[in-house]
Every structure is written in structure tokens, then in C-alpha cells.
């Protein structure tokens, strides 16, 4: 199927990034959130990102204007009936996502694909709450969405072939490279990445090295473009902790247990870039 109308639920950093890349390739996007304030904040971030791309000459001013013209903001879930695809991009909370998916299921057409942008939660479990589980698929975008070229496509046990094929076609349409993954905690990338970042936090917790030296070590020693602690700050320490907990619970394996320092920083509200302070200061 050709996807021309997409609804994105959640105007946060992931949701507005997804809306941006879809609108730039000619897809009409409805961006939905619970308040006008959240929508305005997300749209401002999206507009700023497009302006940055214009300054870098990655897109033209006309491209920017056309993309903005394809995006509609609303708090009304009633518009979902017009969508070919709905992408849920809410916080990484299983019960919250289930509630949103049930609402999507009630309001969308029978051919609509329902996607969840989760980094670690079970697609099979999420699909089980809707009446058309074969239409549910995981689309794990990476942050920042406009810059990252990867899209993990995750099939639940119930996902039908047509849904999977349409998801791969969407990946091509928006210029992403798709990696197919089975439904296991963390899928591919986060199952490898999260333990690495967590181990860096254990190293810091044990005072083996400073945050700066840990990150420089991994950047220069392993040729990583960003250090693991700075990456955790970019992801958001609360989001990263939720992903680790999902791995820990999903595999029941102590190698995924979150470092105590990570849990303490989240409890203190030190969440990384979005709060101004994490392993590094951004104030």
C-alpha cells in the first residue's frame, strides 16, 4: 500500500522527529498530543530543526515551507479515521502504550496499520490489546530521527505479511535503512547498546575513571562518534533506565541490572540534556 496520510501520537522529541521526516518526503502528517502546549513545543522544535537543515543547505527554504504545510496539529483523536498509518510515540511505558493503542484501534479504519515506536517493549504483548493484531508492528526510530539512518522493524507473533511489507516500504519512502528484528527484549540495537552504556556507568560508579575520560576512551579507543555517558544523556536517563529494566525483566538475567548510580540520578531528576544535567552539565 502507498502511505499518504500518517498520524503521529506524541509531539515529543521522537514524535516531532518522525513527523518531520515523513512531511519532508511528501506525506501528510497529523501530530497529536494531549495539550496545545505540548503540540506547540513539539512544533517549535520541528521548525527549528528544519531551519537548521536549511542553513546547512541540506534542504531548500521551499522544502521547509512545504513540509510545514503538510503537518496538522490537534488534540482530537477523532482524526485517526483518515490515517493509513498511525505511529504511537509516547513515553516508554507499557500500560500507557496499551491505553493509546486501544484508543487507536477504536478510531482507525480496518486497513490502517498501527505502529509503536518502542525501543524495548514486546510488540506481541502490545498487539494483543487491539482487535486487529495482525496490523500492529514495531517501528523503532532512533534519536535524533532526522539524522539517524536506521529503522528497526519488529514483527510481533501476530503481525501479518502485508503489514510487514508496508513497513519496509515506508522505511524506503522516508529514506531509512530497515533492520528486521524478532520480538525479543531490546530487539537488536538496544540489546547490544544498553549493556555497554550501563557498564560505562558502573565504571564511573566505581570511580575507575571520570565521565570525561570514560567517554574519550570509547571515542578514541573504539572510534565511537559519541561517548556512552554523553549518549545516555542524549537518550534521557529515565528513558535509558526504562529500557534497561525491560531487558532485566524480559530475560531475568542479572547482566542487565541497572547501575545504582543510574537509578539514583533519575530519582534526583538528573535526566541528561532535557533536564540540563546528567553525567555532564548542559545548563
Of 211, 262, 254, the residue nearest 236 (C-alpha)? 262
Three-state secondary structure call for residue 248: helix
Reference 191, options 263, 144, 248; nearest CA is 248
Closest CA to 30 of 60, 46, 52, 6: 6
Q: Which of 18, 27, 25 is nearest to 46 (CA)?
A: 18
Coil, strand or helix at 256: helix
Query: Whole-angstrom Cα distance, residue 56 to residue 20?
Result: 16
Residues carrying an active site annotation: 119, 140, 152, 190
CA distance 92 to 13: 13
Give me the sign of the Cα torsion angle 227, 228, 232, 233.
Answer: negative
Amino acid at each position: 500500500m502507498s502511505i499518504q496520510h500518517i498520524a503521529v501520537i506524541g509531539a515529543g522529541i521522537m514524535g516531532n522527529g518522525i513527523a518531520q521526516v515523513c512531511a519532508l518526503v511528501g506525506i501528510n502528517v497529523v501530530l497529536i498530543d494531549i495539550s496545545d502546549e505540548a503540540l506547540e513545543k513539539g512544533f517549535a522544535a520541528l521548525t527549528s530543526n528544519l531551519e537548521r537543515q536549511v542553513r546547512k543547505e541540506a534542504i531548500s527554504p521551499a522544502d521547509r515551507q512545504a513540509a510545514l504545510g503538510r503537518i496538522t496539529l490537534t488534540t482530537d483523536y477523532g482524526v485517526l479515521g483518515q490515517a493509513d498509518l498511525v505511529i504511537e510515540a509516547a513515553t516508554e511505558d507499557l500500560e500507557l502504550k496499551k491505553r493509546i493503542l486501544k484508543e487507536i484501534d477504536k478510531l482507525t479504519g480496518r486497513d490502517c496499520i498501527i505502529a509503536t515506536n518502542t525501543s524495548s517493549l514486546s510488540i506481541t504483548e502490545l498487539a494483543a490489546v487491539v482487535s486487529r493484531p495482525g496490523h500492529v508492528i514495531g517501528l523503532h526510530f532512533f534519536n535524533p530521527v532526522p539524522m539517524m539512518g536506521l529503522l528497526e522493524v519488529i514483527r510481533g507473533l501476530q503481525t501479518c505479511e502485508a503489514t510487514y511489507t508496508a513497513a519496509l516500504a515506508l522505511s524506503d519512502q522516508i529514506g531509512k535503512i530497515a533492520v528486521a528484528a524478532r520480538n525479543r527484549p531490546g530487539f537488536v540495537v538496544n540489546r547490544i547498546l544498553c549493556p555497554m552504556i550501563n557498564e560505562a556507568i558502573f565504571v564511573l560508579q566505581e570511580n575507575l575513571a571520570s565521565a570525561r575520560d570514560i567517554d574519550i576512551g570509547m571515542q578514541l579507543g573504539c572510534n565511537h562518534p559519541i561517548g556512552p555517558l554523553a549518549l545516555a544523556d542524549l537518550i534521557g536517563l529515565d528513558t535509558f533506565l526504562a529500557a534497561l529494566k525491560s531487558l532485566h525483566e524480559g530475560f531475568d538475567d542479572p547482566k542487565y541490572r541497572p547501575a545504582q548510580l543510574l537509578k539514583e540520578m533519575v530519582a534526583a531528576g538528573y535526566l541528561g540534556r532535557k533536564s540540563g544535567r546528567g553525567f555532564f552539565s548542559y545548563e
